Each structure stands twice: as structure tokens, then as C-alpha cells.
């Protein structure tokens, strides 16, 4: 008789709570990834200063595995004239948990999360660096579209991706 173990990995999105702060302190990204995104600790400081920013934790089996910020209002303005859009920024997955499908699943969960928590929003936008091919692939696989809008960022040209809700 063969015995097998069935492992069900659960990925969820949740608005940030202070109880996650300790785990996020040990969050790590490669040097290359740090060129394109902020660590959660840095993004949380920006959220404290700007009340239009909402930090979100990606949970993997109820443990913080990723992080991003949803930014309303002024954050959207450089990329879109849609006042009902929200900007996805500071997106990342903890380096030691990459390659497990967490990013792909979290992006697929994003539309429902935004609809439930930001019911007046009808679009999600993001800016991704033209050299960050891995992130582009994750976003496009998750449903974001490139309509040819471009912007200049700190590390060069950025593609502005959009997802209608």
C-alpha cells in the first residue's frame, strides 16, 4: 500500500495588520529585485505618511509571503486619468518563497480583493520597469494588459499595465 501526503497550500490577500510587522522585518529581496520595488518596511513608512496608500499582505498558509500597496488618488494621477482606478505598487514576494506560484495566484486574487475592499474602483494599474521581464510575465499572466502607455521612472522606461474590473 502506498501512502501519499496531500498538501493544500492556501494563498490569501489581507489588508495589513500590525501583527504581521515582525515577520515582515525579516523579509528579503535580492539586490536585483530591490532595484524595482520597495521592501515592506519602506512601503509601510510611506503608507503611514500618505493615507491614500493601503498596505496588503500576501499570506501563504497564513504566514506573510508577499506584500504590496494599493494607492488611490494622487498615486494614480501620473499613470491614468481614471479617478476610479487604483495603483498597485511595491509588489514583491519574499525571496525564499519565490517559485511556488504565490505571485501568480496572488495576482489572480487581486480583482476580487479590490472589488471587495474598494467597491468604487473599476481598474487596477501598475508601472513595471521595461527590464523587469519576470514581473511583466507574472502581471500579464494574471490578466494585466499593456496598451502601450509608457512613463519614465527612476530606473528607466516603465510600462503601464491595466486591468479592468
**CATH number, position 72:** 3.40.630.30
Answer whether residue 67 is part of any domain.
Answer: yes
Rounded Cα–Cα distance for residues 32 and 45 (Å): 22
Task: Please list, in sequence order, all residues whose beta carbon lies within 8 angstroms of the beta carbon of residue 25, skipping any fewer than 6 positions away.
Answer: 41
Rounded Cα–Cα distance for residues 58 and 67 (Å): 6
Overall size of the chain counted in residues:
165
What's the pTM value of the predicted model, to 2 decimals? 0.92
Answer whether residue 150 is part of any domain.
Answer: no
Rounded Cα–Cα distance for residues 80 and 47 (Å): 21
Cross-strand bridge partners of residue 129: 158
The domain total for the chain is: 1
Yes or no: say if 92 and 66 are a contact pair by the CB < 8 Å rule.
Answer: yes
Yes or no: say if 127 and 140 are a contact pair by the CB < 8 Å rule.
Answer: no
For 29-85, what is each residue's pLDDT tens digit? 989 898 899 999 999 999 999 999 999 999 999 999 999 999 999 999 999 999 999
The three-state secondary structure class of 163 is strand
Rounded Cα–Cα distance for residues 44 and 55 (Å): 7
Percent of the chain's residues with pLDDT above 90: 84
Answer whether residue 140 is part of any domain.
Answer: no
Q: Would the pLDDT of 113 be above 90?
A: yes
Per-residue pLDDT, 5: 47
Range of the domain at 21: 11-121
Answer whether residue 147 is part of any domain.
Answer: no
Answer whether residue 32 is part of any domain.
Answer: yes
Task: Please list, in sequence order, all residues whose beta carbon lies within 8 angstroms of the beta carbon of residue 11, skipping any fewer than 6 positions away.
Answer: 58, 59, 60, 65, 101, 102, 105, 106, 109
The three-state secondary structure class of 61 is coil
Q: How confident is the model at residue 156 (pLDDT cuts 50, 70, 90)?
A: confident
Answer whether residue 91 is part of any domain.
Answer: yes
Answer whether residue 30 is part of any domain.
Answer: yes
* Mean pLDDT, residues 120-132: 96
Yes or no: say if 30 and 74 are a contact pair by the CB < 8 Å rule.
Answer: no
Answer whether residue 159 is part of any domain.
Answer: no
Amino acid at each position: 500500500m502506498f501512502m501519499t501526503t496531500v498538501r493544500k497550500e492556501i494563498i490569501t490577500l489581507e489588508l495589513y495588520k500590525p501583527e504581521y510587522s515582525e515577520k515582515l522585518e525579516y523579509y528579503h529581496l535580492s539586490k536585483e529585485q530591490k532595484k524595482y520595488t520597495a521592501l515592506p518596511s519602506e512601503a509601510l513608512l510611506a503608507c503611514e505618511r500618505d493615507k491614500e496608500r493601503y498596505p496588503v499582505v500576501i499570506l501563504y498558509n497564513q504566514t506573510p509571503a508577499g506584500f504590496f500597496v494599493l494607492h488611490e488618488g494622487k498615486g494614480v494621477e501620473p499613470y491614468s486619468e481614471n479617478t476610479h482606478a487604483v495603483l498597485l505598487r511595491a509588489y514583491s514576494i519574499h525571496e525564499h518563497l519565490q517559485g511556488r506560484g504565490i505571485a501568480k495566484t496572488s495576482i489572480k486574487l487581486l480583482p476580487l480583493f479590490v472589488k471587495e475592499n474598494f467597491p468604487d474602483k473599476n481598474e487596477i494599474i501598475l508601472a513595471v520597469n521595461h527590464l523587469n521581464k519576470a514581473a511583466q510575465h507574472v502581471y500579464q499572466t494574471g490578466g494585466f494588459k499593456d496598451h502601450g502607455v509608457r512613463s519614465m521612472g527612476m530606473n528607466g522606461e516603465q510600462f503601464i499595465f491595466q486591468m479592468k474590473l
